[in-house]
Amino acid sequence: MAAPTSASLSTDDIFWADADRYLIRYAGAGAFTREIIDHAAGSFLFTEDGRQILDFTSGQMSAILGHSHPEIVATVTRQAAKLDHLFSGMLSRPVVDLAHRLAETLPEPLEKALLLTTGAESNEAAIRMAKLVTGKHEIVSFARSWHGMTQAAAGATYSAGRKGYGPAAPGNFAIPAPNRYRPDFTTADGELDWQRQLDFGFDLIDAQSVGSLAAAIVEPILSSGGIIEPPPGYLPALRDKCAERGMLLILDEAQTGLCRTGTWYAFERDGVVPDILTLSKTLGAGLPLAAVLTSAELEKAAHDRGFLFFTTHVADPLPAAVGTTVLDVLQRDRLDERALHLGGFLRHGLEQIAHRHEIVGDIRGRGLLAGLELVVDRQTKRSSDELGALVTRRCLELGLHMNIVQLPGMGGVFRIAPPLTATEDELSLGLAILDQAISDATGQL
């Protein structure tokens, strides 16, 4: 039989043939979602064949104002026509304005900003700054961490992507993630003994360190690690561990920053102010924008030592103007309060699903960053990759895009992060689809 010609193939077949032939696959063992997305608006994606898909991940956990927010569209249109990109040594008003506005949202002494493009890049710059200022090179992060795929960020990432690429930079250490659902150190009543876990982790760090501990970099809520939220008291204790060793504390708020958890920054709950804060994803609301924030003292120390992080798109005016619009909308519409309210609505709905379905083992998270862990057995907490894949696939068939994290030793954990502009009706629709998908999937096991 002759091979099909382009004339005999549908336009969809040609699209996927071209995708298979010309694109480098970048998601490890994961495959591209077999939908051709044509456009998006608010909380919904629309495919070329007319399907409407509710987006429960805000794109890549970024579009906190929904897709194609009219004020973002207006800012991009206006700024692109005026000034989009500059030589990296030049400055424009949007850049200084955004740096000023970010400082106003933060506690002292965080007031100095470096504007970049991606979360990996901001973490790269933060780690580079910490090493230069301290004169040391060792970096500590969580064993379930994700900080990016560039060199230093990848060295501090342990949830995926470490095998097969040769040796990482020396001086990267992991400590256990404080997972209350699957505790490794327990109290007499079986709860996570996070203080003993943290002590043990730093005992191992001290044993391995060559005396050059520069910084710890952690997320206030580990997202790619399965929505793991350190218990109250953990971050202050971690800060003390760092202070005892002359280390800086870097908080990566790529996904938790800018109102998603119900406060402007997730670290506010714990009363901890980091030495360096990194932002991305939510700052650009879907466009490439990231930031490193630190104190005037640390910035001066870095500058005096010749701090260099010169990139093609550092301090670009177009994304900076978008960032200021994002802050305008967040403040005007009180989206921190909205995220807190909608987060309670979402959690109540997830708890109802858990009541109906034994395969829901745990619900966790804060505000509009929620995690739902699936297990085959609630008593043993045994996981099943097949179960998570079935539910994810069925959700998409029913019109809901969900993202599931599947890591060794954990059940499939849905990361649920709708836009902060979502409505209760949209959340109810998503919850109803998820409920139906779980019912359909468990019927196939």
pLDDT in tens, the chain (445 residues): 455 555 678 999 999 999 999 999 999 888 899 999 999 999 999 999 999 999 999 999 999 999 999 999 999 999 999 999 999 999 999 999 999 999 999 999 999 999 999 999 999 999 999 999 999 999 999 999 999 999 999 999 999 999 999 998 899 999 999 999 999 999 999 999 999 999 999 999 999 999 999 999 999 999 999 999 999 999 999 999 999 999 999 999 999 999 999 999 999 999 999 999 999 999 999 999 999 999 999 999 999 999 999 999 999 999 999 999 999 999 999 999 999 999 999 999 999 999 999 999 999 999 999 999 999 999 999 988 899 999 999 999 999 999 999 888 787 999 999 999 999 999 999 999 999 999 999 988 7
- For residue 109, whether the previous peptide bond is cis, meaning omega lies within 30 degrees of 0, is yes
Tens digits of residue pLDDT in 125-176: 999 999 999 999 999 999 999 999 999 999 999 999 999 999 988 999 999 9
CA-nearest of 317, 177, 291 to 238 is 177
Question: Last residue of a domain, which of 332, 365, 381?
Answer: 332
Q: Is 189 a catalytic residue?
A: no
Check if 415 is active-site.
Answer: yes
Task: Based on the residue annotation, tell me whether 336 is a catalytic residue of this protein.
Answer: no
Classify residue 232: in a domain, yes or no. Answer: yes
What's the domain count of the chain?
2
How far does CA 85 lie from the centroid of its chain? 26
Q: Choose the catalytic residue: 219, 275, 362, 373.
A: 219
Q: Find the catalytic residue in 55, 121, 124, 252.
A: 252
| CATH number, domain containing residue 156 | 3.40.640.10
Question: Are 160 and 294 within one domain?
Answer: yes
**Could you tell me if 233 and 286 lie in one domain?**
yes
Told to judge if 206 belongs to the known catalytic residues of this protein, a careful annotator would answer no
- Would residue 106 count as lying in a domain? yes
56 and 75 housed in the same domain: no
299 and 351 together in one domain: no
Looking at the structure, tell me whether residues 253 and 343 fall in a common domain.
no
Annotated catalytic residue within 136, 255, 338, 394: 255
Active site residue 255: yes
Spot the catalytic one: 79, 239, 415, 426: 415
- In a domain, residue 12? The reply is no
Residue 84 designated active-site: no
Catalytic residue among 144, 281, 364, 394: 281
In which domain, by residue range, is 387 found? Answer: 31-61+334-442
Do 138 and 159 belong together in one domain? yes
Same domain, 48 and 158: no
In this structure, is residue 21 part of a structural domain?
A: no
Residue 221 located in a structural domain: yes
112, 131, 144, 146: the active-site residue: 146
Claim to verify: residue 143 and residue 274 sit in the same structural domain: yes
Same domain as 344, residue 435: yes
Task: Give yes or no: residues 160 and 111 share one domain.
Answer: yes
Q: Can you give the chain as a three-state secondary structure string?
A: CCCCCHHHCCHHHHHHHHHHHHCCCCCCCCCCCCCCEEEEEECEEEECCCCEEEECCHHHHCCCCCECCHHHHHHHHHHHHHCCCCCCCCCCHHHHHHHHHHHHHCCCCEEEEEEECCHHHHHHHHHHHHHHHHCCCEEEEECCCCCCCCHHHHHCCCCCCCCCCCCCCCCEEEECCCCCCCCCCECCCCCECHHHHHHHHHHHHHHHCCCCEEEEEECCCECCCCCECCCCCHHHHHHHHHHHCCCEEEEECCCCCCCCCCCCCHHHHHCCCCCEEEECHHHCCCCCCEEEEEEHHHHHHHHHCCCCCCCCCCCCHHHHHHHHHHHHHHHHCCHHHHHHHHHHHHHHHHHHHHHHCCCEEEEEEECCEEEEEECCECCCCECCHHHHHHHHHHHHHHCEECEEECCCCCCEEEEECCCCCCCHHHHHHHHHHHHHHHHHHHCCC
- The last residue of a domain, from among 307, 332, 357: 332
- Six-digit token pair at 58? 């805000």
Pair (205, 352) in one structural domain: no
Do 426 and 296 share a domain, yes or no? no
* Final residue of a structural domain among 332, 361, 377: 332
Q: What CATH number has the domain bearing residue 51?
A: 3.90.1150.10
352, part of any domain: yes
* 4 within domain boundaries: no
Q: Is residue 7 part of a domain?
A: no
